[in-house]
Structure 1
Amino acid sequence: MSKRPHILALGLALVAGLAACTPQTDESVARQDVVFAPTYKGVKTDLLEGDLVNFHVAMSGARDETDVHRYAECAAAQYALIRGFGFARHVRTTTDKSDEIWSGDAVYVISAALPEGLKTIDAEVIVADCEDNSIPTV
């Protein structure tokens, strides 16, 4: 019985293992590895119709669109509380980045009772979380 197949298999396994150790050539960086030093540039609200509210947010230092979404969510939660409501439902958020400024255009439905839908928020819980994470609200 020849030992060559075993040696060949071992050699291939070593090459495959070393290939996995090569540095990544793309420029992707994990979110948690990016320095997060945000500057929140403000929120503009527009009542669209009834309980439908549009939030325009801007910030610099965001790691990605998730930070912009969170900023808009914080604004929506505080707005709901200011208006005497306890809940909101996320309708949509679009984000854009121009130079170092991120902007978000979010729409929420605010309501006194927990609205139907998958993306609902309890305004008091979200505002408390925003305060804990130093994200400003309206």
Structure 2
Amino acid sequence: MRAVPLVLVALVSGCQNAEQPVVDVFRPDYKGVETRLLEGDLVNFLVTMEGARDPQDVLDYAECAASQYALIRGFGFARQVRTNVVEEGGLWRGDAVYTVSPALPRGLRTIDAEVAVETCRDKGIPTI
């Protein structure tokens, strides 16, 4: 009688070890970027996307746009000033402000534009 429960335990524990497939459903739809020069080195980026997992996906999209913009303007760096993200009915919008500069700016949220654009390409995030 003692062997039966051990066999049942072995069968149940065997079922628990079966690996479940991981399904990746992240399929972002990047709808576009609107760029506005605010003043001097301040630039506003309005990004829109569907299929974001969370606000970080929108922040990443805005950073990619800012990085490419910095390179287009002949600058090597950007710094995030602020980003506001809202989601309504599956449509995510980001309103981001960045500074662009030829030299590494002060602050914690500095971005090497060339490196960032390459990372964006690797992740499949479009730039401007």
Identify whether the pair has TM-score above 0.5, normalized to the shorter chain.
yes
- TM band (smaller chain): 0.7 to 0.9
* Structure 2: runs of 5+ lacking an equivalent: 1-21
Equivalent runs, 1:30-69 vs 2, <5 Å: 35-69=25-59
Q: What TM-score, normalized by structure 1, do the two folds share? A: 0.75
Q: Any runs of at least 4 consecutive aligned residues in structure 1 with deviations exceeding 3 A, and if so which?
A: none
Equivalent runs, 1:1-80 vs 2, <5 Å: 35-80=25-70
Choose which of 80, 90, 93 in structure 2 pairs with 1:103.
93
> Over the residues paired in the alignment, what is the CA RMSD in angstroms?
1.3
Work out the number of aligned pairs and report it.
107
Given the superposition, is the C-alpha separation of residues 33 and 110 from structure 1 closer, same or farther in structure 2, using an over 3 Å criterion? farther
Q: Secondary structure at the match of 1:35?
A: coil
Q: What TM-score, normalized by structure 2, do the two folds share? A: 0.81
Equivalent runs, 1:59-138 vs 2, <5 Å: 59-138=49-128
**Cα deviations by residue, 1:74-128 (Å, 9 ceiling, x for unpaired):** 0000000000000001000000001010000000000000000000000000000
Counterpart CA distance in 1 for 2:23 and 2:90 is: 18
Of all paired residues, the percent bearing the same amino acid is 65
Amino acid at match of 2:89: D
